[in-house]
C-alpha cells in the first residue's frame, strides 16, 4: 500500500504541515511530523472530514441568518426555518458526507442527528480536531458551553451548526463507539475500511473492546485456533490479527517505540544533583591509515599493565580502562572514525574526547581530515597525538602547520587544541597524553549517578560457542550488577557473569566502565542502547514488542534530508542547517564549490560543509552524511563500489554534477522550494575496459566486459578512472565481434567507441546511463 507523507498532503491541501499534523492527531491519526507517512485510508478519512468541515464553514456563513429565523420562529424545525440559502448549503453538506462518510440519512432533517448517526466517534473527533469550529460556535452562542451540552440543552442552537454537533459525546467510550458504528457500517454496501492499531501484546478483553466483538466470540475463535485463553490473558499481535481477519476487520501493529519509550521512561528520570559523581572520560582514537592508532592503543593499554597487575592478562573486550594519577580513562578499542560514526548512527554518542593520531613523518592526510570532520560533526573535542616522533623524518611542526588549515590550532601556537608529541614505539609522551586527556575531561565535568539502574551502549557483541551471546557494554550511568535484567534492542536477559577488560570477574561496575557480560538471549547490535529494568517481564515485553514490530515492518529512519524536500523541511523549521559533504575531482573544485555554497547561507538556513575531499564518494562519506542528516554533492566523481547501495539504505541523497554552477543552482533552488529535477539519471549498466585497440581513421576502441546491467547503443556513457569521471559522451560504436550490436548484457564482452574520445585506458570503468523524466 502506498504511503503519503504529511508534507505532501499539506502541500496538496495548501496548509502548513504543522497544522496538518495537529489536525491529524485530533482525528486520532498518528502523525509525528511532516515526514510521517499516512496510509491511503487515513488520507481518505481525513479528507472526508475536511470536506465536512469545509461544508460546515459554508454553512456557518449563513448561521446568523438562520439564527435570526430561528429566533423569529423557535418552534419551527430547521427544514422550514432556515432560509433558502441555508437549505442549499445543507444539501451540499449532505451530499458531501454521503460521498465521504456514507451518510444514509438525507431524509433526516436534523443534521446534527444525521451527523452522529453516520460518522460515529470520528465525527466526535471531528469536533475536537477543528476546534475553531467549536470556538466559533461558542462565540456565537456567547458562552462556553460544550458542544454536546449545547445540543442536549438547547435544541434551537443545533440548527445553527448542522454538521458539527455531536450527540452523547463520551470520550472514554470513543473507541468502542467507533467499533459499534464500524460494525453498523460493515452492513452497508459502501463501507469505509478502517484500520485498528493494536499493540504487540493485548489481553483478550482489550482486544474485544478494541475491535468491538464480544469476549465470548473472541474466545470461541481462539479455541478454533487451539488457544485456550481467558479474558485477562494476553495474546500476541499475530494471533489478534488472525482473529480480526476472520471477522473482516483490518488491524495493524502500532509503532512500538513510543510504547517502549513509555515503558523505559521511568529509567530516564533526572538525577538528583547530589547523586552525581565524576565519571571517567570515554576516548576514541582516530586518524589516517598506518599513522599508528592500533600501536598507540596498545602502548596505552600496556601502560596500564603495571607491576600491580602483573600476570593480569589484558583481555580484548572492545574497550579498556587505564589508571593514571588514580583516575581512570576508558578507551574504545576500535580505532577509526567509521566505527565511531557507525555507532553514532545507531544513536550512541559514547565518546567524550577523540584522539586524533597524526604521524609526524607523514602529516595531515585525507583520513586525518575525515576524522577531524567526523569528530566535529559529533561535537566531540579533539586532542591531537603527533605520533612516531622517534622517527628521524618526524616533523611535528609541519603537522601543527597543516592542522591549522583544518581549524585545529595548537595551544603552543595560540590556539586551543591540545597537541602532544608521542611515540607508540618508545612510549615517549604517552603519560603526557593521558594527563592531557584527564585535563580535558576535567573541563567537560563528566558526571553520572552510580546509584541508579545502569544504562549505556553496546560496544561490541558476538556469539560464543560455549557462552552464548557475549556483549561488551559501556555503562553510561548507573551501576550494573550481576543478576540485573538488561534489555537492548530486541534482546534481553539476566547478567549471569561480568568481567572487566583485565579479565577480572566483577560483581558490579559503575559509570564509564566497559564490561563484558554473558546472559543475553541473543547477540545485541553494537551501538544500541541498553537499559537495566526492574524485572524480567518488562525486559521481555520490550523485546517482544520490538521483535513484533521489526517483523511487521521496516524500521523507519529519522527523516532523511534530500534536496527535493529541503524547502518543506526548512518551512517546518526542521532544517536550520544544511549539512553537506563535498567530494570533487580536485582541490580547486572543492574550494570553488565550498565558497559558493557558503554564500547561500541566509537568515533561515546555514549551509555547513561538514566534510570535503578529493576523490570518489566513500562509505565513510555516506555514514557521515547519514549521521549528520546531510547530503552529498559529488563533482566529477562517482560513488565507489557498493557506496550507492549503502546510500540508498541510509537514505542519503547523493547529487552528482559535472558543472559547479549546476550544483550551486540546485541547492539554491532547493532552499527556495523551486527545485525542478525533471530528469533523473538512471545508470543502466557498468563495464570494465579489458583492452584497447587503435583503429585507423576511427580512433581508440575499447574491449569491454559488462559487469552489471547492460549497455545499449543509444545510452550515454561516462568513463571513470580511479573514481573520477574523465569523460562523458555518446557511444560512437558498439560491436559484438564484427557486428553492430543494439545492446550487450552483463557477462558479455564487446567493443566500444566513445565519440570524440581517444583516451580509453585498460582498467577504466564505463558507466552507461539514460535520463528519465521524473514527476515532481
Ligand X SMILES: Nc1nc2c(ncn2[C@@H]2O[C@H](COP(=O)(O)OP(=O)(O)OP(=O)(O)O)[C@@H](O)[C@H]2O)c(=O)[nH]1
Binding residues: 287-294, 333-337, 387-390
Contact present, 293 and 456 (Cβ < 8 Å):
no
Quote the least distance from Cβ 361 to ligand X, whole Å. 8
Tell me how far apart the 2 most distant CA atoms of the chain are, in Å: 106
Closer to ligand X by CB, 433 or 609: give it.
433
Quote the least distance from Cβ 287 to ligand X, whole Å. 6
Closer to ligand X by CB, 208 or 283: give it.
283
Distance CA 517, CA 539 (A): 16
Quote the distance between the C-alpha of residue 533 and its chain's center.
26
CA distances from 390 to 359, 361, 362 (A): 11, 10, 13
Distance CA 201, CA 429 (A): 58
Closer to ligand X by CB, 338 or 764: give it.
338
Neighbours of 360 (CB within 10 A): 24
Site for ligand X, rule CB under 6 A = 287, 289-295, 335, 387-388, 390-391, 423-425
Q: Of the candidates 27, 25, 19, which has an alpha carbon nearest to the alpha carbon of residue 126?
A: 27
Contact present, 221 and 138 (Cβ < 8 Å):
no
Closer to ligand X by CB, 57 or 425: give it.
425
Closer to ligand X by CB, 428 or 708: give it.
428
Quote the least distance from Cβ 339 to ligand X, whole Å. 11
Quote the least distance from Cβ 335 to ligand X, whole Å. 5
475: which residues sit within 8 A by CB, 6+ positions away? 454, 455, 456, 509, 510, 511, 512, 513, 514, 515
Look up residue 639 and give its DSSP letter.
B
Closer to ligand X by CB, 372 or 744: give it.
372
For residue 204, what is its C-alpha cell?
483478550
Distance CA 93, CA 95 (A): 5
**Residue reference for cell 596498545:** 298
Closer to ligand X by CB, 292 or 363: give it.
292
**Residue reference for cell 583503429:** 695
Closer to ligand X by CB, 162 or 287: give it.
287
* DSSP string across 538-598: HHHHHHHHHHHHHHHSPPPPS----HHHHHHHHHHTS-SEEEEEEEESSHHHHHHHHHHHH
Contact present, 692 and 758 (Cβ < 8 Å):
no
Quote the least distance from Cβ 381 to ligand X, whole Å. 21
Instruction: Print the SS3 string covering 276-307.
Output: CEECCCEEEEEECCCCCHHHHHHHHHHHHCCH
Quote the least distance from Cβ 338 to ligand X, whole Å. 10
Closer to ligand X by CB, 125 or 423: give it.
423
Task: Summarize the annotated binding site for GTP as residue ranges.
Answer: 287-294, 333-337, 387-390
**Positive or negative: CA dihedral 34, 36, 42, 44:** positive
CA distances from 331 to 269, 270, 300, 322, 505 (A): 28, 27, 9, 8, 19
Closer to ligand X by CB, 24 or 285: give it.
285
Query: Three-class SS of residue 28?
Result: coil
Contact present, 275 and 451 (Cβ < 8 Å):
yes
* DSSP string across 222-249: HHHTT----TT-EEEHHHHHHHHHHTT-
Closer to ligand X by CB, 181 or 370: give it.
370
Closer to ligand X by CB, 426 or 602: give it.
426
User: What element of type H or E holds 332?
Assistant: strand 327-332
Query: Three-class SS of residue 758?
Result: coil
Quote the distance between the C-alpha of residue 174 and its chain's center.
33
Quote the least distance from Cβ 619 to ligand X, whole Å. 15
Neighbours of 494 (CB within 10 A): 16
Q: Of the candidates 418, 420, 402, which has an alpha carbon nearest to the alpha carbon of residue 410?
A: 418
Quote the least distance from Cβ 305 to ligand X, whole Å. 18
Quote the least distance from Cβ 340 to ligand X, whole Å. 13
Quote the least distance from Cβ 423 to ligand X, whole Å. 4
Amino acid at each position: 500500500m502506498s504511503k503519503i507523507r504529511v508534507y505532501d498532503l499539506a502541500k496538496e491541501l495548501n496548509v502548513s504541515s504543522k497544522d496538518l499534523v495537529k489536525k491529524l492527531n485530533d482525528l486520532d491519526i498518528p502523525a509525528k511530523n511532516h515526514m510521517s507517512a499516512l496510509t491511503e485510508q487515513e488520507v481518505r478519512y481525513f479528507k472526508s472530514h475536511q470536506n465536512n468541515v469545509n461544508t460546515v464553514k459554508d454553512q456557518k456563513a449563513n448561521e446568523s441568518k438562520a439564527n435570526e429565523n430561528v429566533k423569529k420562529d423557535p418552534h419551527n424545525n430547521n427544514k422550514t426555518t432556515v432560509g433558502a440559502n441555508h437549505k442549499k448549503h445543507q444539501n451540499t453538506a449532505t451530499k458531501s458526507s454521503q460521498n465521504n462518510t456514507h451518510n444514509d440519512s438525507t431524509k433526516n432533517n436534523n443534521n446534527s442527528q444525521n451527523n452522529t448517526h453516520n460518522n460515529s466517534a470520528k465525527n466526535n473527533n471531528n469536533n475536537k480536531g477543528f476546534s475553531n469550529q467549536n470556538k466559533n460556535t461558542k462565540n456565537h452562542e456567547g458562552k462556553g458551553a460544550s458542544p454536546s451540552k449545547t445540543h442536549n440543552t438547547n435544541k434551537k442552537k443545533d440548527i445553527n451548526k448542522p454538521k458539527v454537533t455531536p450527540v452523547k459525546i463520551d470520550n472514554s467510550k470513543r473507541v468502542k463507539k467507533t467499533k459499534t458504528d464500524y460494525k453498523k457500517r460493515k452492513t452497508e454496501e459502501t463501507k469505509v475500511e478502517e484500520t485498528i492499531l493494536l499493540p504487540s501484546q493485548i489481553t483478550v478483553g482489550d482486544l474485544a473492546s478494541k475491535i468491538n466483538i464480544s469476549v465470548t466470540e473472541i474466545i470461541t475463535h481462539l479455541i478454533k485456533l487451539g488457544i485456550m485463553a481467558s479474558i485477562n490473558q494476553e495474546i500476541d499481535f499475530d494471533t489478534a490479527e488472525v482473529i480480526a481477519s476472520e471477522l473482516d476487520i483490518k488491524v495493524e501493529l502500532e509503532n512500538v517505540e513510543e510504547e517502549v519509550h513509555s515503558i523505559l521512561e521511568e529509567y530516564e528520570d533526572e538525577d538528583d544533583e547530589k547523586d552525581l559523581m565524576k565519571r571517567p572520560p570515554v576516548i576514541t582514537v582516530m586518524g589516517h591509515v598506518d599513522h599508528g592508532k592500533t600501536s598507540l592503543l596498545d602502548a596505552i593499554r600496556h601502560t596500564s599493565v603495571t607491576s600491580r597487575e602483573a600476570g593480569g592478562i589484558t583481555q580484548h573486550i572492545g574497550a579498556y580502562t587505564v589508571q593514571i594519577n588514580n583516575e581512570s580513562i576508558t578507551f574504545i578499542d576500535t580505532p577509526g572514525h567509521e566505527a565511531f560514526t557507525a555507532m553514532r548512527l545507531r544513536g550512541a554518542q559514547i565518546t567524550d574526547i577523540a584522539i586524533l593520531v597524526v604521524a609526524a613523518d607523514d602529516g595531515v592526510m585525507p583520513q586525518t581530515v575525515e576524522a577531524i570532520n567526523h569528530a566535529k560533526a559529533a561535537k566531540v573535542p579533539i586532542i591531537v597525538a603527533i605520533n612516531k616522533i622517534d622517527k628521524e623524518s618526524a616533523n611535528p611542526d609541519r603537522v601543527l602547520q597543516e592542522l591549522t588549515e583544518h581549524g585545529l590550532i595548537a595551544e603552543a601556537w595560540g590556539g586551543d587544541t591540545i597537541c602532544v608529541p608521542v611515540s607508540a614505539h618508545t612510549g615517549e609522551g604517552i603519560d603526557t597524553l593521558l594527563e592531557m586527556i584527564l585535563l580535558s575531561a576535567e573541563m567537560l565535568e563528566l558526571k553520572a549517578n552510580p546509584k541508579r539502574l545502569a544504562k549505556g551502549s553496546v560496544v561490541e557483541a558476538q556469539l560464543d560457542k560455549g557462552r552464548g551471546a557475549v556483549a561488551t557494554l559501556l555503562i553510561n550511568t548507573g551501576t550494573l550488577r550481576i543478576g540485573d535484567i538488561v534489555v537492548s534492542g530486541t534482546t534481553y536477559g539476566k547478567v549471569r557473569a561480568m568481567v572487566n577488560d583485565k579479565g577480572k570477574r566483577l560483581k558490579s561496575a559503575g559509570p564509564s566502565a566497559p564490561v563484558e557480560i554473558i546472559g543475553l538471549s541473543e547477540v545485541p547490535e553494537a551501538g544500541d542502547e541498553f537499559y537495566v529494568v526492574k524485572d524480567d517481564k518488562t525486559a521481555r515485553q520490550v523485546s517482544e514488542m520490538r521483535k513484533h514490530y521489526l517483523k511487521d515492518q521496516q524500521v523507519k529512519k529519522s527523516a532523511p534530508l534530500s534536496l527535493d524536500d529541503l524547502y518543506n523541511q526548512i518551512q517546518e523549521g526542521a532544517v536550520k542547517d544544511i549539512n553537506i559533504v563535498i567530494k570533487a575531482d580536485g582541490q580547486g573544485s572543492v574550494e570553488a564549490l565550498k565558497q559558493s555554497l557558503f554564500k547561500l547561507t541566509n537568515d533561515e538556513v546555514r549551509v555547513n560543509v561538514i566534510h570535503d575531499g578529493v576523490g570518489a564518494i566513500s562509505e565513510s562519506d555516506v555514514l557521515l552524511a547519514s549521521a549528520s542528516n546531510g547530503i552529498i554533492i559529488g563533482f566529477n566523481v562517482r560513488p565507489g563500489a557498493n557506496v550507492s547501495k549503502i546510500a540508498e539504505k541510509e537514505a542519503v541523497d547523493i547529487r552528482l554534477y559535472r558543472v559547479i554552477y549546476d550544483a550551486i543552482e540546485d541547492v539554491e533552488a532547493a532552499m527556495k522550494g523551486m527545485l525542478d529535477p525533471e530528469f533523473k539519471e538512471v545508470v543502466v549498466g557498468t563495464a570494465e575496459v579489458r583492452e584497447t585497440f587503435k583503429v585507423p581513421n576511427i580512433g581508440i576502441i575499447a574491449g569491454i566486459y559488462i559487469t552489471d546491467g547492460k549497455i545499449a547503443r543509444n545510452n550515454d556513457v561516462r568513463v571513470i578512472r580511479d573514481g573520477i569521471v574523465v569523460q562523458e559522451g555518446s557511444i560512437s560504436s558498439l560491436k559484438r565481434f564484427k557486428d553492430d550490436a543494439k545492446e550487450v548484457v552483463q557477462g558479455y564482452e564487446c567493443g566500444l567507441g566513445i565519440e570524440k574520445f581517444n583516451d580509453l585506458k585498460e582498467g577504466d570503468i564505463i558507466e552507461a546511463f539514460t535520463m528519465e523524466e521524473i514527476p515532481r
